Chains A and B, each alone.
Chain A
Amino acid sequence: MIEISKLNAWFDDHHVLKDVDISVPANGSFGLVGESGSGKSTVLRTITGLVDDWEGNILVNNKELGTTRDKTFYRLVQMVFQDPFGSLHPRHTIDRILTEPVNIHGLGNSDSRVVEALKQVGLDNSFRFRYPHQLSGGQRQRVAIARALILEPKVLLLDEPTSALDVSIQAEVLNLLSRLRRDLGLTYIMVSHDLAVVAHMCDDIAIMNHGRIVERATAGQLAEGSLEHPYSQQLYKAAGGYDRAVVDSFVDWD
């Protein structure tokens, strides 16, 4: 479904992505893990056309992506952002937020589509005409997912979708995302700094550091803890909570 090869990107002379290769089959789920500055979010932004300076090949659904994106692309690929507080327009009702894409793409039946989209993410009709500030973080993120799904895309790019949420809400949202992938046959690329989240949600994982993929693993390999690259091992151990011996073994990867 998604084939990225030799992707390089620059921000003002900073080489932020270095020869990134990613391959995701249809209905697959691919995880990108890394710390801040690793370039993981930049990969997503390059796919969506928000990065100007890049080189390489990006194929989505066998179609090569160029410098601009058009409406057919937006009906194929959608994104869920990290910050539930920032990704919904504070002055728009939920109804407007969900109706706008329907109208832009001329899909019609906006009323029933909105109701259906809310149902899909587990929100009832009472939320429809509220404003974002009247919703909790988890509810906002559900609206963000509904918004992404209302155009019936095949690919969802998830940029740290649960990092800003409480742990118990995170579990609900992750379950929702798993169910949606199953029911709608979606393909995911999920970016996170949390190895456990990615291990739980994804089939294949790539670990990034300073713009480069340092290691790839399947969820199974991660479960066994069989990582080879020292950076990956460091990340793996760090996920286990505070352990003095572990910290003392850390190396600075700058």
Chain B
Amino acid sequence: MSNEPLLNVKNLKVTFNTPKGEVNAVRGVSFSLGRERLGIVGESGSGKSQTGRAILGLTAANGRITADELKFHDVDLANLTPKQWRKVRGARISMIMQDPKYSLNPVMTIGDQIIEAYREHHKVNAREARHRAIDMLEAVKIRDPERVFNSYPHEVSGGMGQRVMIAMMLIPEPELIIADEPTSALDVTVQLQVMAILDDLVRDRGMALIFISHDLHLVSSFCDRVLVMYQGHVVEELAASALHEAKHPYTKGLLNCLPKMDGDHSDLPILEREASWAEG
């Protein structure tokens, strides 16, 4: 599965300078990623999104990224110039975000956006780019690609918009995709359909995937490995298939407090937070 890691992260820290003082969003996260699917799970404030953004250098202006190592193959991601980032983002590492309502440009047609994403990294003429864009829309199982190509983002449904986002992010054929809650804004059945598309594309193209989500079950049924984050730390790392053998009380607590469909109406177990978990 994974021979040599694509991504090496050691002791990643992200700190924000806010009017109320310093906020440590990520406090020393380490992991390596091969050609596999890694899930990062946590609740709000766990730092999972900020970890994903830090890898792509997308942290907000008032944030500071430090790491002992933050390498993608040989590229040191912690010290890239904007020009160097343009070669990495999209072409080698791509990001899919949560809500297509906000991540797609509302004043450009879908087709134009996909073409723009493609031509950013490939020198082709307009006709070839259009052809590739339509192909990509078909690859994400959009039944009427020509019509969607000419539509604006607000004219398509949420699930379709997310598929467009996937098309746009995968068309330059990156090696690593970071998906930040890509299906959280979607209905449950649409969620699974979109994930199936992602499943196929990632497998067919041999991409590595980091899947960030708050949904532990979804992540463990889709990914190979799971990192559980709490308040900026990784509290547990386990194989997705071994979820029921989780050892850390936070992970176990998270699994237990979910309502089940077993007809039991008694109170759900509450997660009792320990201060020691936040110290990693």
Contacts and interface: CB of A to CB of B under 8 A. Distances in A.
Interface of A: 35-36, 137, 166-172, 174-175, 178-179, 193-197, 199-201, 219-220, 222-223, 225, 234-235, 238-239, 241-244, 246-248, 250
Contact of A193 (B187, B196, B269): B187
Contact of A239 (B196, B199, B261, B271): B261
Interface string B260-280: 111111011111000000000
B270 A172 contact: yes
Given A168-B257, A175-B268, A248 B196 contact: yes
Contacts of A179: 267
Interface string B197-211: 001000000000000
Nearest to B43: A166
A209 B103 CA distance: 29
A220 B271 contact: no
A220 B43 contact: no
Contacts of B218: 241-242
Contact of B261 (A137, A195, A244): A195
B271 A241 contact: no
Nearest to B188: A238
B56 interface: no
Chain A contact surface mostly: helix
B193 interface: yes
B143 to A, nearest CB: 10
29 contacts: A35-B190, A166-B214, A167-B43, A167-B214, A167-B216, A167-B257, A167-B258, A168-B257, A168-B270, A168-B271, A170-B257, A171-B258, A175-B270, A179-B267, A197-B259, A199-B263, A200-B261, A201-B265, A219-B265, A223-B262, A234-B189, A235-B189, A238-B191, A241-B217, A241-B221, A242-B221, A247-B192, A247-B195, A247-B196
A175 B190 CA distance: 29
Interface centre among A171, A193, A199, A225 (most CB of B within 10 A): A171
B263 A220 contact: yes
Given A196-B259, A196-B261, A235 B270 contact: no
Given A178-B267, A223-B263, A35 B192 contact: no
B258 A222 contact: no
A247 B196 CA distance: 7
B254 interface: yes
Nearest to A173: B268
Contacts of B271: 168, 171
A220 B263 CA distance: 5
